[in-house]
Structure 1
């Protein structure tokens, strides 16, 4: 069975199972949850429940309103009043309304009420309704004694916005009687708590949520803000219980019909949602995996698939947004696979170049040795003692060159595989480097080159293997000499930082181009000539880099054609080591 058919069959079975489950589930929940939600809303937040429910159950015709007595009774129990205002601003219905209230309102007055949610001493809960009865504006009012009490407490107990410590016992006693507590915020930070907290880690948006959705919390919050002291007092009180409302529906057939339709609707909706959200992306992923199996790493999606998944601006379409991170992971995986493929190709070329370089270096001395061997083997030549001595010297020199080349080649792989054991000692850098390069200054055969050393003003101590690190300096110095003409200035500097030591070897020679700099440490990079000195042999820079890395250091090259080259070795500094324990 094809993947598309399997997905279709899977979601068809899911549709059937989901429909059966959803039908009985919603049938049960409809009878239970609806009643519980209404009861819970009225029990935990009666005011909000009445404000949201009364406009939907009220019957208004020609500005004449009828309201069930149970709602009037609940409002009376909660000390609420209600006014209903028509489009002309006239009050068409009053319930428990104080005599001081108006029977008609201007637009400005209504807008002010909407903005401040206050009317005189009353807290107003406005509700606009235009569902069945036309357009009417409901005003529910309640005198918030707790908020008024909090204001009085602030005026009586505060000092510069905070609770006065001298009068604090009186405030704590009142809070204890109410089983509440007060939090004081100043400049957005909680600075004082009075009373016993019933909850911990109340965040800022939790407080805002308590005001808008108080039914979610066991306590209700009252707020008083004082602009003069830039402080806010928050009073937390346990919620008051109120009467619950009887079941709002009376006909069982209506509830059964609603449950069936609701179950069917959600079943179809979820199935369609599953099909678009899960089915189509899976087909895209399967196509990509098939292309990946063929080695086509560079194409995650075809142009047709991209139009399905992405908008013109490059954003993911809504139906595929769930898999946005997966798409990104696929692209990242494709890039990595493509990069790995390129790296493999580069490695193959590099290995071929290494072998070609080694073959080139071996071929030249072997040709010389082979040529002299034929000459010695032949009876055509009568060599003098001096000539035989010269031939022997050439054969020995070429043999030593080949042996050194093989040893360096083996050493490179040992260094790369951490097959070399270091014997580290603590040394003083200035003394060590100056001694290591001193032999170049004393070598009369290098008198055409200028050598200078600039040490650091203070002793610097590092831990390294002196034998191997001497070879690093030798390779770098020989490289600077070998590849630059006479009269080149070579300068060695020691620089220190709080955490590292920098050894810089600079010359003002011919320099290198960008390609040479990039490949200097990465491969067997130079055409060799056995007439040159044998130090380095094209592997010297790779050996130097590997030894530096074994010492947890780093090496960098900066060069410009015609201006010279600068090589910097960075090694970690041993500040904690005592100078008495150092060795040169």
Structure 2
């Protein structure tokens, strides 16, 4: 049970951690995609934003609408937007300058787009079909750099690798922070104006294209004009505004670095939090169990308590606290172990006390008959008096009786220890139990002390053959029944009943309606050290009968238990399994 619970708990926890990690990764990737898309739109709205703008086109109540956020991007990028119907009429317009026409014919639009007709803006055309109607989108931006480069090509003079421009044009370029280059057909510098230190003097095809397309990488926008007459290229370099290439997310590289670093930091933080949670959830119960075991090792059988003196693992209603419920079986076992150890320690103390009392009683009981023997021996040895033959025989009979009592006590002690250590061999043979127990009771009642006993036997309904050692099994019956008769008031009814169990085991019940006993006495009834011999009536036995009976029952593979209460009599139940 606990294995399944632990597996489920850990698998569930790891699934949660995995889910959290996936969510964090998804958030980080989404953030990076949004920021990189924003950078793309900042760099060139036509490369990424225009497609999004087209996709957002909707027709509402006959009017063309776009995503307001994307229209804001159009404005911030310095562009303008028009939509044309099939006849070239402008149907909607956003941020359009006054010098942009509101109607185009097909030839005019084609000439503007192919730059065969002068037009002060860079123009991008997109055709989109909605609900069976074709819409033409015009997106224009004022390419200041291209215009300045074109003006420079038309008015510049080259002197000693230096470009000379009209004052107003040179002032405009310098005011913008830009500088000008003239390249030959191999993309090598022929002349320059206001060139920055460390700027390149030649370009490969790939380098020129990258600088033209990805201005944010180089913190400068490269605009060019190709002069077909001379096959030369005029290049204008203009720095980007500070907000477009500086800051935490000024480039794709910085976005990716920040995104992955942020993801790593958040994942690390999550794992640190989970580590504390796991330490609290799993470590606290384990440390508590270790503390509890340490208390048990130090003979302290109570669960460790909190500052208020209450057990740490349970609420006031005696239910386990939530953090400890994962280890329910372990805490239940520890509680049972503590109770068992406490009970065994209490029993050990009682048995130790009883053993000392018993040894004192046994010593007294051995000393009493021994004193009688020694006394009679001194009397017989004395020269002061001549004893008659009859007196000598009387003395000898008393000495023999006392010696027999001592021999029986020593024999019983020896038997209990041999049975306890499994050193007493038993010889088994299959015997019919109804007849055997009946004969044993009849033989027992022939004892003069038991002749007036009220004893009755109830046989089993069928014959039952069972493997026993007849001599020792007879001792079991003698000890149990004799104890029931001799330690109850005269006239107490003793009933022996036999019954079968499944697969031919059987049960012997010896019950009486005598004075009974309390629970503490019943728990120790079969212990060797529980009861001392009766020094006043030593002819009633050694006091080891029930301890011997229990060991013999166990040696036959059976069990024995007692139920009793003051005034309600006693029942001793012996059960023997099938064999």
Between Structure 1 and Structure 2, how many residues are aligned?
A: 349
Q: Are 2:359 and 2:532, in contact at CA under 8 Å, matched by a contact in 1?
A: no
Find out whether 1:359 has 2:360 as its counterpart: no
- Report the Cα distance in structure 2 between the residues aligned to 1:445 and 1:523, rounded to whole angstroms: 24
Partner of 1:44: none
- Report the Cα distance in structure 1 between the residues aligned to 2:398 and 2:330, rounded to whole angstroms: 66
Residue 553 of structure 2, aligned match among 548, 554, 557: 548
Partner of 1:193: none
**1:131-170 superposed Cα distances (whole Å, 9 cap, x missing partner):** xxxxxxxxxxxxxxxxxxxxxxxxxxxxxxxxxxxxxxxx
Structure number, greater radius of gyration: 2
Find out whether 1:269 has 2:270 as its counterpart: yes
- Report the Cα distance in structure 2 between the residues aligned to 1:330 and 1:262, rounded to whole angstroms: 44
SS at match of 2:304: coil
Partner of 1:392: 396
Distance apart, 1:408 and its partner CA: 0.7
Find out whether 1:503 has 2:508 as its counterpart: yes
Partner of 2:495: 491
Q: Are 2:484 and 2:494, in contact at CA under 8 Å, matched by a contact in 1?
A: yes
Partner of 1:410: 414
Q: Are 2:358 and 2:533, in contact at CA under 8 Å, matched by a contact in 1?
A: no
SS at match of 2:502: coil
**1:348-402 superposed Cα distances (whole Å, 9 cap, x missing partner):** 3343244234223223222322332343344444432222211111111111111
Q: What does 1:295-314 align with in structure 2 at a 5 Å threshold?
A: 295-303=299-307
- Segments of structure 2 that go 5 or more residues without pairing to the other structure are 1-20, 34-54, 69-128, 132-250
Ranked by relative contact order (alpha carbons within 8 Å, sequence separation 6 or more), the top structure is 1
Q: Are 1:503 and 1:568, in contact at CA under 8 Å, matched by a contact in 2?
A: yes
Distance apart, 1:519 and its partner CA: 2.3
Q: Are 1:456 and 1:494, in contact at CA under 8 Å, matched by a contact in 2?
A: yes
Q: Are 2:314 and 2:320, in contact at CA under 8 Å, matched by a contact in 1?
A: yes
Find out whether 1:369 has 2:373 as its counterpart: yes
**1:550-584 superposed Cα distances (whole Å, 9 cap, x missing partner):** 1111223344545544333222345xxxxxxxxxx
Which segment drifts farther, 478-487 or 316-325? 316-325
- Report the Cα distance in structure 2 between the residues aligned to 1:483 and 1:275, rounded to whole angstroms: 66
Partner of 1:520: 525
Distance apart, 1:258 and its partner CA: 2.1
Distance apart, 1:529 and its partner CA: 3.0
Partner of 2:254: 253
Cα distance, 1:60–1:546 mapped onto 2, change above 3 Å: farther
- Report the Cα distance in structure 2 between the residues aligned to 1:96 and 1:383, rounded to whole angstroms: 147
Distance apart, 1:288 and its partner CA: 5.5
Partner of 1:529: 534
Q: What does 1:134-153 align with in structure 2 at a 5 Å threshold?
A: none
Distance apart, 1:285 and its partner CA: 6.4
Distance apart, 1:273 and its partner CA: 3.6
Find out whether 1:458 has 2:462 as its counterpart: yes
Partner of 1:278: 279
Residue 349 of structure 1, aligned match among 346, 350, 353: 353
- Report the Cα distance in structure 1 between the residues aligned to 2:318 and 2:485, rounded to whole angstroms: 55
SS at match of 1:437: helix
Distance apart, 1:308 and its partner CA: 8.1
Q: What does 1:29-428 align with in structure 2 at a 5 Å threshold?
A: 251-275=252-276, 277-278=278-279, 281=284, 294-303=298-307, 331=335, 334-335=338-339, 337-428=341-432
- Segments of structure 1 that go 5 or more residues without pairing to the other structure are 1-25, 39-57, 68-94, 98-249, 575-584
Q: Are 2:508 and 2:575, in contact at CA under 8 Å, matched by a contact in 1?
A: yes
Q: Are 1:357 and 1:524, in contact at CA under 8 Å, matched by a contact in 2?
A: no
Find out whether 1:430 has 2:431 as its counterpart: no
Q: Are 1:528 and 1:537, in contact at CA under 8 Å, matched by a contact in 2?
A: yes
Distance apart, 1:264 and its partner CA: 1.4
- Report the Cα distance in structure 1 between the residues aligned to 2:563 and 2:334, rounded to whole angstroms: 37
Q: Are 1:504 and 1:567, in contact at CA under 8 Å, matched by a contact in 2?
A: yes
- Report the Cα distance in structure 1 between the residues aligned to 2:404 and 2:262, rounded to whole angstroms: 94
- Report the Cα distance in structure 1 between the residues aligned to 2:562 and 2:311, rounded to whole angstroms: 47
C-alpha RMSD over aligned residues: 4.4
Distance apart, 1:471 and its partner CA: 0.9
Q: Are 2:413 and 2:544, in contact at CA under 8 Å, matched by a contact in 1?
A: yes
- Report the Cα distance in structure 2 between the residues aligned to 1:310 and 1:482, rounded to whole angstroms: 50
SS at match of 1:267: helix
- Report the Cα distance in structure 1 between the residues aligned to 2:130 and 2:421, rounded to whole angstroms: 91
- Report the Cα distance in structure 1 between the residues aligned to 2:543 and 2:478, rounded to whole angstroms: 14
Q: Are 2:313 and 2:324, in contact at CA under 8 Å, matched by a contact in 1?
A: yes
**1:174-233 superposed Cα distances (whole Å, 9 cap, x missing partner):** xxxxxxxxxxxxxxxxxxxxxxxxxxxxxxxxxxxxxxxxxxxxxxxxxxxxxxxxxxxx
Distance apart, 1:484 and its partner CA: 3.5
Q: Are 1:506 and 1:567, in contact at CA under 8 Å, matched by a contact in 2?
A: yes
SS at match of 1:303: coil
- Report the Cα distance in structure 2 between the residues aligned to 1:562 and 1:530, rounded to whole angstroms: 26
Give TM-score scaled by structure 1 length.
Answer: 0.50
Q: Are 1:493 and 1:505, in contact at CA under 8 Å, matched by a contact in 2?
A: yes
- Report the Cα distance in structure 1 between the residues aligned to 2:259 and 2:395, rounded to whole angstroms: 110
